[in-house]
Amino acid sequence: MVINASLHPIKNQASPSTGLTWWPSPAKLNLFLHINGRYQNGYHQLQSLFQLLDFGDKIAFEVNASGHITLAQSIPGVADQDNLIVKAAKLLQNHVLPEKAKNLGCHIHLNKVLPMGGGIGGGSSNAATTLVALNSLWKLNLPDETLAGIGLQLGADVPIFIFGKTAFAEGVGEQLQAVELPQKYYLVVFPDCHVSTAEIFQLADLPRNTARIEFSDYKFDNTHNDCQEIVCERYPNVANTLQWLLEYAPSRMTGTGACVFAIFEQQQDALNVQAKLPKGSTSFVAQGRNISPLYAEKQPNT
């Protein structure tokens, strides 16, 4: 299955049929992921290169004064109260005075295309888009640093999507330095299995001692993903998909999996390889973006 969800065509535009304004919620790739050590709280000390993509989910927000957060569509397998969109909206409500929060409500529509548990940050991106959009629509005027701090409570990957720029990341992924990368094309393949981030980080034999690098020394070829080998050992679908892609282009797993990506200079080359994927594969072709589609144009309703 080829997923079609480029964020260009309807970016920040009200749909004539529904009147809803859709906010982009883009995916990311980890072009590399090095584990340098572990903090006392068990979290891993990372270095990574977050590449934002022009591709992802879309979310629309109908604000009201009910004080309630409701979803127009549930995600199968995710209870509404566990949905990161709902959690983000509630954390934002809790951040303002109770007197004001009781009048901040929203009915939220989600157009979900990104595979979950894929290492492409869909849930974190949904949370970030919710924080950015509701901060604007509820006229809270909180600075991005405050939104990133709220987002970090939901996941280590939320701050990058609020930051909104392709970035070299350190710490648990919250120390971000914007970088300009050539805007290449990526064929991203979902190997039809879900990898739990928590599961991979708990494994005793996960490598955790890669030497720190300076970003000025970065080249794709002199970096790697410390989770890739251990995930490939446990998930043959990931190993097979990666092996397949490597026949065509430089390729790697993103995050803690399961998605793998191959890098191309030309969109057509990526599309040609996508057309050769085994029948039934789930995939998309996206372009790397230095600025998130969430910020690429003037935001609506501000």
Ligand X SMILES: Nc1ncnc2c1ncn2[C@@H]1O[C@H](COP(=O)(O)OP(=O)(O)O)[C@@H](O)[C@H]1O
Provide, rounded to whole angstroms, the least separation between the CB of residue 161 and ligand SUD: 10
Provide, rounded to whole angstroms, the least separation between the CB of residue 119 and ligand SUD: 4
Output 105 or 173, the one with its CB closest to ligand SUD: 173
Output 36 or 287, the one with its CB closest to ligand SUD: 36
- CB-side neighbour CA atoms (13 Å) of 115: 25
Provide, rounded to whole angstroms, the least separation between the CB of residue 154 and ligand SUD: 7
- Interface residue list for ligand SUD (CB under 6 A): 30, 33, 42-44, 46, 48, 119, 121, 124, 155-157, 172-173, 197-198, 201, 255-256
Distance CA 270, CA 225 (A): 22
Q: 125 among the known binding-site residues?
A: yes
Q: Which does 84 bind (CB under 5 to 8 A by kind): ligand X, ligand SUD, none?
A: ligand X
**Pairing between β-strand 167-171 and β-strand 105-111 as defined by DSSP bridges:** unpaired
Please identify which of the residues 28, 58, 112, 184 carries the catalytic annotation.
28
Q: 117 among the known binding-site residues?
A: yes
Please identify which of the residues 54, 87, 112, 157 carries the catalytic annotation.
157
Residues whose CB is less than 8 angstroms from the CB of residue 26 and which lie 6 or more positions away in sequence, other chains included: 7, 52, 53, 54, 55, 56, 125, 161, 289, 292, 293, 294
Q: Which does 129 bind (CB under 5 to 8 A by kind): ligand X, ligand SUD, none?
A: none
Token readout for 224 is 């790697």
**Pairing between β-strand 69-71 and β-strand 105-111 as defined by DSSP bridges:** parallel
State yes or no: is 100 an active-site residue. Answer: no
Q: Which does 172 bind (CB under 5 to 8 A by kind): ligand X, ligand SUD, none?
A: ligand SUD
Token readout for 24 is 């982009």
Q: Are 124 and 85 spatial neighbours (Cβ–Cβ below 8 Å)?
A: no
Distance CA 108, CA 209 (A): 42
The torsion of the CA quartet 285, 155, 254, 186, rounded to 10 degrees, works out to 20
Task: Please identify the residue of the shown chain whose CB is closest to the bound ligand X.
Answer: 123
Q: 105 among the known binding-site residues?
A: no
Distance CA 44, CA 65 (A): 41
Output 103 or 153, the one with its CB closest to ligand X: 153
- Interface residue list for ligand X (CB under 6 A): 75, 78, 82-85, 116-124, 126, 197, 255
Output 251 or 254, the one with its CB closest to ligand X: 254
Report CA torsion sign: 255, 258, 264, 270: negative
What spatial distance separates the first Cα and last Cα of the chain, rounded to whole Å? 37
CA-closest candidate to residue 191, choices 277, 265, 121: 277
State yes or no: is 157 an active-site residue. Answer: yes
Provide, rounded to whole angstroms, the least separation between the CB of residue 98 and ligand X: 26
Q: Which does 83 bind (CB under 5 to 8 A by kind): ligand X, ligand SUD, none?
A: ligand X
The torsion of the CA quartet 135, 300, 10, 70, rounded to 10 degrees, works out to 40
Output 76 or 182, the one with its CB closest to ligand X: 76
Give binding residues for ATP as ranges. Answer: 115-125
Q: Would you name the residues annotated as active-site residues?
A: 28, 157
